Amino acid sequence: MLAAWLKNHFQSVWRCCFSACMLPALALLARVLSSDLGPNPLALLLHTTGRSALVLLTATLAITPLRRWLTNLSAYTHQRYGKRLSDWNWLVRLRRLLGLSCFAYALAHAWIFAAFDLGYDWSAALSEVQEKPYVLAGLLALLILAPLAATSTQSMVRRLGRHWRRLHRLSYAAAVLGLLHFWWLTKPGLISPWPDTAALTLLLGYRAALYSGLLERWDGFDGKESLVRPT
């Protein structure tokens, strides 16, 4: 069973995941070093970092639902391994990596904007934040992500206890703000934010349904317990 194999090779899985997270940055670095940033270097830098941050935030938010869906899938397909939620615990151990990578890209994105778009002209920055919703949305998303990144260590998780989960639910707001930021920057007629919108709608919609109790009617589907109880 794949899940068992992945669990037993967690080190490799983590390294693969880490490499995947670094890939956009490495690709950009290669292009910077070979002076091959194309006709519009600033747009390329901003778009690559911004899109990477949003994709990684989506991946971070996918961990919890994925764990539950995979558990159900294993149960429905009568797998020997993987039908218990705990069988997928190793997925959670990837979440910090994804979340921190997201924050790193968001930070790089904001720095590139401040340095090359604004030229560190803070009065211009102020008027942009006041006038333009996309700058405000992006800034708010970054301000939300910062404390989440700061409290991502094991000791902070322990120290905050149940408050940690509540605090980190702010990532939902960051995702919505990030998505709005993307839409506000996109010219009408373009479809580039649709995949992100569809994925986040699914992930956040699932949680909304879960919290509102909508899924409780389906036994086991709410993820609170696996379909087949361990005997």
Partner 1 sequence: AGAGLGLPAAAAEGENPSALADIASYNNYYEFSTDKKAVKVLAQALTLKPWTVSVEGEVEKPYTVDADDLARLFGVEERIYRLRCVEGWSMVVPWSGFALSKLIERARPTSRARFVAFESLQRSSEMIGQRGGSLPWPYREGLRIDEAMHPLAFAVTGLYGQSLPKQNGAPLRLALPWKYGFKSPKAITRIRLVNEQPPTSWSQLSPSEYGFYGNVNPQVAHPRWSQARENRLGELQKRPTLPFNGYAESVAALYQGQDPKALY
Residue closer to partner 1, measured from CB, 44 or 149: 44
Residue closer to partner 1, measured from CB, 33 or 80: 33
SS3 sequence of 141-208? HHHHHHHHHHCCCHHHHHHHCHHHHHHHCHHHHHHHHHHHHHHHHCCCCCCCCHHHHHHHHHHHHHHH
Residue closer to partner 1, measured from CB, 99 or 138: 138
Q: Does 39 bind partner 1 (CB under 8 A)?
A: yes
Burial class (CB in 10 A: 0-12, 13-18, 19+), 188: exposed
Task: Single out the segment in contact with partner 1 by CB under 8 A; choices: 55-63, 157-165, 167-175, 185-193.
Answer: 185-193
Q: Does 188 bind partner 1 (CB under 8 A)?
A: yes
The C-alpha atoms of residue 18 and residue 93 are separated, in whole angstroms, by 12
**Segment 57-86, which members bind partner 1 (CB under 8 A)?**
none
Q: Does 132 bind partner 1 (CB under 8 A)?
A: yes
Q: Does 120 bind partner 1 (CB under 8 A)?
A: no
Q: Does 184 bind partner 1 (CB under 8 A)?
A: yes
Q: What is the Cα Rg of the chain in Å? A: 20
The C-alpha atoms of residue 215 and residue 227 are separated, in whole angstroms, by 14
Residues engaged in binding partner 1 (CB under 8 A): 37-43, 116-119, 124, 128, 131-134, 184-185, 187-191
